């Protein structure tokens, strides 16, 4: 993984014996932070150097942001700014803030990888703004790892299982 020394990697892998229950608790907690717009706390869930991506609707799981157009392909610094922006009333798309509610399910541990543990889940996120409620559905691909006692997100990729972003129109909320 980016910026990790070998010892860090091996200790991360050694410490990565995550259970599904732990992952579920973590993902439910993450969903709550997002629904309550506790964005700084959400950002704190990410390991340093983590990435957050939303490929275009219907893309393949292994699509690369170096070769294909995404909606969001944030490195750690851009993700930090995305959150700072969303906290500003000048982020017009999310001001006044939309109401969101997300349901997380089908949590699966897919095995260890270099940066931690691959975890997959499905989601259904409702976003309500200006009297209209839109639904985002799909699955998330995470790499999670334990750092000291806490679980951290090394990467999060949100795969929208939709034909297109119609009628949702935008991914101005964090998914």
Partner 1 sequence: MATISSTSSATELSEGRWIRDDRTAGIFKVNREAFTSQEVLDLERERIFDRAWLYIGHASELKAPNDYLTRNIGGRELIFNRNRKGEYQAFLNTCPHRGAIVAREKCGNAISFKCFYHGWSFNNNGKFATRNPAGTYPDDFGKDGTVDLARVPQIDSYRDFFFISYDPLAPKLRDFLAGAKDILDLVADHSPNGMEIVGGVQEYSIRANWKLLVENSYDGYHAMETHETYFDYLVQSAALDMGSGDKPLVSRGYDLGNGHAVVEGRAPWGRPVARHIPAWGEEGKAAVAELRRELVDRLGPERAERIYDGDRNLGVFPNLVINDIMAITVRTFYPIAPDLMHVSSWALAPVGETPEARKRRLDSFLEFLGPGGFATPDDVEALESAQRGYAAAKFAPWNDISRGMLKDDPLGDDEAQMRAFWREWNRRMEGRR
Q: φ and ψ at 83, to 5 degrees?
A: -70, -45
Distance CA 152, CA 84 (A): 20
Cβ closest to partner 1, residue 38 vs residue 170: 170
Q: Minimum distance from CB of 75 to partner 1 (Å)? A: 9
CB of 20 to partner 1, least distance (A): 30
C-beta of 112 vs 171, nearer to partner 1: 171
The alpha carbon of residue 112 and the mean position of all alpha carbons in its chain are separated, in whole angstroms, by: 18
Of 26 and 43, which has the nearer Cβ to partner 1?
43
Shortest separation between residue 44's beta carbon and partner 1, angstroms: 20
Rounded to 5 degrees, φ, ψ at 98 are -80, 160
- For CA atoms 93, 78, 100, 106, give the dihedral sign: positive
* C-alpha closest to that of 35 among 140, 124, 131: 124
Distance CA 152, CA 161 (A): 25
Separation of alpha carbons 66 and 174, rounded Å: 21
Residue with Cβ nearer partner 1 (151 or 160): 160
Which residue ranges make up the site for partner 1 (CB under 8 A)? 54-57, 59, 63, 65-73, 77-78, 81-82, 85, 88, 90-94, 130, 132, 163-172
Min separation Cβ 13 and partner 1, Å:
28
Q: Please, which residue, 68 or 103, has the CB nearer to partner 1? A: 68
d(CA 156, CA 10): 21
* Minimum CB–partner distance for residue 65 and partner 1 (Å): 6
Q: Could you give the CA distance from residue 174 to residue 94 in angstroms, rounded to a whole number?
A: 10
């Amino acid at each position: 993984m980016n910026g990790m020394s070998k010892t860090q990697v091996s200790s991360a892998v050694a410490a990565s014996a995550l259970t599904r229950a732990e992952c579920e608790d973590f993902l439910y907690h993450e969903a709550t932070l997002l629904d309550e717009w506790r964005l700084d706390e959400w950002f704190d869930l990410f390991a340093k150097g983590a990435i957050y991506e939303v490929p275009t609707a219907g893309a393949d799981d292994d699509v690369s942001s170096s070769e294909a157009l995404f909606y969001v392909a944030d490195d750690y610094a851009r993700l930090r700014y995305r959150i700072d922006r969303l906290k500003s009333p000048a982020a017009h798309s999310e001001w006044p803030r939309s109401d969101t509610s997300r349901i997380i399910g089908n949590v699966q541990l897919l095995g260890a990888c270099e940066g931690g543990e691959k975890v997959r889940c499905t989601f259904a996120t409702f976003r309500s703004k200006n009297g209209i409620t839109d639904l985002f559905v799909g699955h998330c691909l995470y790499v999670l790892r334990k750092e000291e006692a806490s679980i951290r997100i090394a990467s999060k990729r949100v795969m929208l299982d939709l034909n297109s972003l119609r009628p949702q129109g935008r991914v101005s909320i964090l998914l």
